[in-house]
Amino acid sequence: MAFAVRTVNYQRNKMLNMCDSSLVGRVLTEGDLTMNITPSYFAERIVDETEAEQLLRSSSIINMVGEETIALSVKIGVGSPKGVKKISGIPFLLVFKF
């Protein structure tokens, strides 16, 4: 599995934007809601599952999109299935760890 990631230092916290690499460049729309999965926001680089797991564990604010990304976060206990929402059938999840 390959994951697209971008990390940002935000107010002394590490923010991670992460998605399934196959979703980069897609625009998801449902009703009035639109999510643009741009390379500039989500795809600073592509990482493997091991590095993705390390980034998920070490980040305080996480924006996630995609089946594989969400599954990995739930598997390692960073994300919860209860918080997952979908747009155009694609899951997304926001996590704040403080």
Q: Tell me, what CATH number does 59's domain have? A: 3.30.1860.10
Does the pLDDT of residue 61 top 90, yes or no?
yes
- CA 27 – CA 44 distance, rounded (Å): 18
User: Domain residues for 27?
Assistant: 3-96
State mean pLDDT over 56-78: 97
How many separate domains does the chain show? 1
Does the pLDDT of residue 6 top 90, yes or no?
yes
State mean pLDDT over 74-88: 96
Taking a C-beta distance cutoff of 8 angstroms, is the pair 40, 23 a contact?
no
- CA 15 – CA 55 distance, rounded (Å): 10
Evaluate if pTM is beyond 0.85: yes
**One-letter amino acid for residue 23 of the chain:** L
Q: How confident is the model at residue 1 (pLDDT cuts 50, 70, 90)?
A: confident
Q: How confident is the model at residue 55 (pLDDT cuts 50, 70, 90)?
A: very high
